[in-house]
Amino acid sequence: MSTLKLKRALEEALKKENRTIAFDREKEEMRFENTNTKKGVTVSLGGILAKFEGNVEKAAEETIYYVNEALNAFDGSSKKEEKEKRIFPVIRAASFPKEAEEGVPLFYDEHTAETRIYYAVDLGSTYRLIDEKLMKKENWTPEQIREVARFNLRSLPLNMKEDTVAGNVFYFLNSNDGYDATRILNDRFLKEMSEKVKGDMTVSVPHGDVLIIGDIRNHTGYDILAQMAMSFFAAGRVPITALSFVYEEGKLEPIFIMAKNRPQKK
């Protein structure tokens, strides 16, 4: 069953017009070829699953990256600049693992008491977190990764939905591209929102696929924000934090929200 799940995941992520995919059911192997050059790679699904102890998601993530790299090299599109366009920062909870499952340290930066910044290579339908092994292979320095990732982040759209509740305004960013919460790292965006907000500005990243900015204009707004953040946190596929942040003078400060009271800084 795990083999079939991995097969379907690879087919979905790696299919392109200039590629052919073949599956040998008896050997449990998949062959990916460049249609024009007839060059390609063969992967053993059973071997990959054994390496990752049956974890289909991790096995797919690793395989997609290396198959793409190999096939891009065959069709001449494996330029350094094109690889770098796929590097993005990823916000995760401070409790998120610091190592990949095989024990290789992940590359990350501290952010707040509640959040940490990881970095990933976007693979289309999934992504691969950057670890020290990948950095060494690609000859990437920490400074390069940080600079390129922030630049790419600023290129992502910022389409917000607005809702007013009890005199307070809430803005929601939910594009489902995997980097909604990560837009909290877009300093220019936060500054522009702070100039638009009339009350206290709050920022919430309850899970990876949403960012909420609050324009809190009365005490009730804090109670609404607390309930909202907890609800999103509980429902998120990749939960980050149920706490919100106050944004003041370019800085984020985690807060506890006490019912019927203004927030207390953590």
Interval 95-136: pLDDT, tens: 999 998 778 999 999 999 999 999 999 987 778 899 999 999
Q: Could you tell me if 106 and 174 lie in one domain?
A: no
Record the tokens describing residue 220, joined without a space: 């009730």
CB-CB contact of 128 with 101 (8 Å): no
Task: Give the model's pLDDT for residue 265.
Answer: 52
Low-confidence ranges of the chain (pLDDT < 50): 266
CB-CB contact of 17 with 36 (8 Å): no
Task: Give the model's pLDDT for residue 74.
Answer: 62
Which residue reads 């807060």 in tokens? 255
Task: Give the model's pLDDT for residue 159.
Answer: 93
Task: Give the model's pLDDT for residue 154.
Answer: 94
The number of folded domains in the chain is 3
CB-CB contact of 184 with 190 (8 Å): yes
Can you give the residue range of the structural domain that contains 229? 160-265
Q: Could you tell me if 164 and 261 lie in one domain?
A: yes
Q: What is the 3-state secondary structure (H, E, C) of 89-147?
A: EEEEECCCCCECCCCCEECEEECCCCEEEEEEEECCCCEEECEHHHHHHHCCCHHHHHH
Task: Give the model's pLDDT for residue 1.
Answer: 66
Total residue length of the chain: 266
Q: Could you tell me if 168 and 250 lie in one domain?
A: yes
